[in-house]
Amino acid sequence: MADLPVTNTHNATHPGLTVAFQVPFQANTALIPDIVGALNVPNTTVLLSDPDAITTFLLEELNVDMADSIKPYLWIAGLRFSKIRPLHRNNVIRRDIVICEQAALHLVSRNEVIFIKPIPHCLLQHTFYREYVAGKTIDPKINRRAPAFLATYLRLIRHQSDFSIAIQFRLIPSWVTWEQWLTFSTDLESALSDSQGRMMSFDGRYSYGELRLNRLNFIMRVFKGVARGYVILDTQYSNYFAGFFSLLVLITAVYTSVALSAFQVALASPLATQGLNHAGFWFSIITLFLLAALIGLPIIWFVVALIDNVIFAFRSRS
């Protein structure tokens, strides 16, 4: 667990364990109370009597494998973890909050939308966290990602206005009060900070905060060779290629038309030289080739995307 190097002195009975192997909040500050005799994982149908099902559930809930696989390139898609904007700031910059249950989309933005995953209730229950998240025999991905995910909410909810937005969108349990959140977040921040009060650093996807979806798609296609990109939200090819064709029209209508018109005026002038004539000729030829390439590129990309979707559908047929 080298990626979580900071020891947690909050729990004095286990001073040598890393945060990954401890519950980062105390039982009396937990936002979801322990229920004696409970049969299910809080707020789910997963049975507590089935440890394998619980592990599968948590791995799915915290799955950021794809983002972790492109960690060396995530600087292209966003800023460091400390730059996460509080919830109210998204209103200020006119960005809509959209609830998602995929951890892969948590804090990922697209145009005027940012996707945020609500906190799974089980991560707010002390006993469950101790038994199924922080144990040394638990999958390391769960150990590592759970505290990092919770830490994002220390950035998202900093003011009472942020808390109100979180309640409105059910990002945290609706019955939690502002005072309860303050106590819980103080406890959590203390557990995830060093002796100087500095937030510990996380590895993989959570070494960064907000990420831009279009750049994540670019990274996946260019550096990983995945035609589908990171996550495809467009369900129609017309929407998928709309941005590209808008750019093509802009280049054709503005750049090409204006440049060729300028050359035509220059060549019609009595001051035009032989060199200018040669430049105008080659510029026109190069422009034609570039336009042909720009027109052909979406056609080629459409074929690639179509084949990729057919292969994906074939593999998923069962």
Residue 300's pLDDT is 73
What would the pLDDT profile of 168-207 be if each residue is shown by its tens digit? 999 999 999 999 999 999 999 999 988 777 888 898 999 9
- In angstroms, the CA 104 to CA 145 distance is 12
Q: In terms of Cα–Cα distance, which of 25, 234, 265 is closest to 128?
A: 25
Vertex 156 angle, CA 153 and 159, to 5°? 110
Tokens (6 digits) for 270: 């009595």
Residue 145's pLDDT is 95
Sort residue 197 into left (φ over 0), alpha (ψ -120 to 50) or beta.
left
pTM across the whole model:
0.75
Q: Which residues contact 44 (CB under 8 A, 6 or more apart)?
A: 57, 121, 122
- In angstroms, the CA 269 to CA 262 distance is 11
pLDDT in tens for each of the 318 residues of the chain? 334 433 343 443 333 346 788 999 999 999 999 988 899 999 999 999 999 999 999 999 999 999 999 999 999 999 999 899 999 999 999 999 999 999 999 999 998 999 999 999 999 999 999 999 998 889 999 999 999 999 999 999 999 999 999 999 999 999 999 999 999 999 999 999 887 778 888 989 999 999 999 899 889 988 988 877 888 776 665 666 665 666 666 666 666 677 767 767 776 777 667 776 777 777 777 777 777 776 677 677 667 766 776 776 777 765
Q: Which residues contact 142 (CB under 8 A, 6 or more apart)?
A: 55, 58, 59, 62, 132, 133
In the sheet with 96-99, reading across from the earlier edge strand, the strands are 78-80, 208-212, 108-110, 113-116, 96-99
